[in-house]
Amino acid sequence: MAITEKIETTTTAKQKQVGQSYWSLVWWKFKRNRVAVIGGIILLTFYFSFVFIPEFLSPYALDNTSNYTEAGPTRIHFIDQDGKFHLRPFIYGVEKKIDFTTRKRIFIEDTTKVYPLQFFVHGDPYKLLVLSPRIFTCSVWIRKPTRM
What is the tally of helices (H) and strands (E) in the chain? 4, 4
Same domain, 85 and 137: yes
Is 88 contained in some domain?
Answer: yes
Same domain, 87 and 136: yes
In a domain, 122, yes or no: yes
For the ranges 17-26, 85-94, 114-123, the lowest mean pLDDT is seen at 114-123
Identity of residue 68: Y
Pair 125, 87 in one domain: yes
pLDDT on residue 35 = 95
Single out the residue of 105, 82, 78, 79 nearest to residue 94, CA to CA. Answer: 105
Residue percentage of the chain with pLDDT more than 90: 22
Residue 28 domain flag = yes
Q: Which domain holds residue 34?
A: 21-52
Which tens digit of pLDDT belongs to each residue from 90-122?
A: 889 899 999 999 988 899 998 888 888 877 676
Q: Which residues have a Cβ under 8 Å from the Cβ of 75 and sit 6 or more positions away?
A: 91, 92, 109
Domain-ending residue, one of 11, 36, 52 = 52
The partner residues of 93 in beta bridges, in order of sequence, read 110
Here the contacts of 110-113 (C-beta below 8 Å, separation 24 or greater) are 111/80, 111/81, 113/145
110 assigned to some structural domain: yes
In a domain, 8, yes or no: no
Domains of the chain: total: 2
Indicate whether 117 belongs to any domain.
yes
> What single DSSP character describes residue 128?
B
Question: Are 135 and 91 in the same domain?
Answer: yes
